[in-house]
Structure 1
Amino acid sequence: MNAMREINSKHKIALVTGAGSGIGRAVSLALGRAGWSLVLAGRTASALTETAEALARATGGDDVLAVPTDVTLPEEVDALFAAARERYGRLDLLFNNAGTFGPGGVPVDELPFSAWRKVVDTNLTGSFLCAQAAFRQMKAQDPQGGRIINNGSVSAHAPRPDSIAYTATKHAVTGLTKSLSLDGRAYRIACGQIDIGNAATDMTERMRRGVPQANGEVAVEPVMDVGDVAGVVAHMAGLPLSANVQFATVMAAGMPLIGRG
């Protein structure tokens, strides 16, 4: 083990996908402030650089590795986790966050297969590939174990109109979480899920303008600060492996999820 790895391996190591913006960036900052070393993954190198620079300003350090990655491609996911292992020697946390909503407002009978496939590949297959790679690393390392936190959604509980691809994948992520939690028991691998509703990001900007409701109306919905989501993830991440938040729901107060439909 080289000197750089010996120094870094004294700290907890977290890998965050979708780290270039929104929830991924906010969670990266929260974990960095809590003392974690970060591996940042995302499609766009420049966005990852911006997150790394924000981390440096927030923490006064530069213990971060940015790896541009398309999580839908097995070879890129393998390269990501290999880079993390080479830099730090182990992995203590995966925040499985990369995702896409896909085209909004498209009725199920008009949804192109290509659009369905893109959402499934990113939200479900990408989450599986990253979880599999993290599981493999956590099972093999010494000391054994680690934590996986999947970004679900309140759409894992109730759909929005014309959102079949996103809703189906987020329901599937719940199954992924449960299976990982069960299969990880023997190896000290804990897995939980955070279901998020209306955090203020570019992805949810449309909520401020008005979105279709289950009753056919269009209504403006409240949003919450993305930092409040990051705080919940940081809390889940900071628990000892003897404890696990299996499912947490954090959403903007007053959003119409409760009673939807």
Structure 2
Amino acid sequence: MSSTDSAPVAPRRYDLDDLLAIMARLRDPQSGCPWDLAQTFATILPFTLEEAYEVADAIERDDMPELRDELGDLLLQVVFHARMAEERGSFAFAEVVQAICEKLVRRHPHVFADTALDDGAAVREHWERVKAAERAHKGAGAAPPGALDGVARALPALLRAEKLQRRAARVGFDWDDAAGVFAKVEEELAECRETLARPAGDPERVHEVGDLLFSCVNLARHLGVDAEQALREAGQRFERRFGAVESRLREAGRAPAAELRDEMERLWGEVKREERG
């Protein structure tokens, strides 16, 4: 190596303090980024939700490099919200960390204290008792908290439905077994059929379809199936199979169209049989 050559410079190693400083710089009123400065909790919320779903997608695909990047994007959302809260004098990132550490220690006495919890079921039961006590403490002085209080409205609809049902089941409001839920699904399906005689925009049709979906979530819960995950996987299967149908049509010099519905159904069945082995 000649004297004019220099050794390669190692990339800078950043840490969490650097991320917090970068976020503060982006939000600096004098020298920050105009886009970042224009954001509010409400405008950032869709990005926060999107990043959480992208983390889930990377996990489902078992893509570790992508998961690393998506977790970083999700962490940025936490830092962004905390920075905006600090600017308002509400709380800072350090208080977010303090609160979650206190919560984890409080909810795991079998790890950080002397409480004995022998299995996963006991741990979950204790976790729910602590959460209920926390909700009651937050609502001290007001009306007693209801069994369904605290289930976030922004959750995906299927996930929220399942959480509401689980909360109700803990206080005894539930079917004894899956047979009762099957009957309820059939009842709701029949009521949906009845709405076919109504105008397309009739609110009753929306109401009955919602009841049917809610009952299907209940059935999934009784069968030990995660409804949100099951529907995601169903969407992925549909996407994959329809892509295969499109590919086979292209090979024949055609494209999907209404007049080819019978052919598309035939190809769909063919793809489905091949997938099943």
TM-score calculated relative to the size of structure 2: 0.23
Q: Comparing both structures, which one devotes a greater share of its residues to strand? A: 1
Q: Tell me: higher relative CO, structure 1 or 2? Use CA pairs within 8 A at least 6 residues apart.
A: 1
TM-score calculated relative to the size of structure 1: 0.23
Q: Comparing both structures, which one devotes a greater share of its residues to helix? A: 2
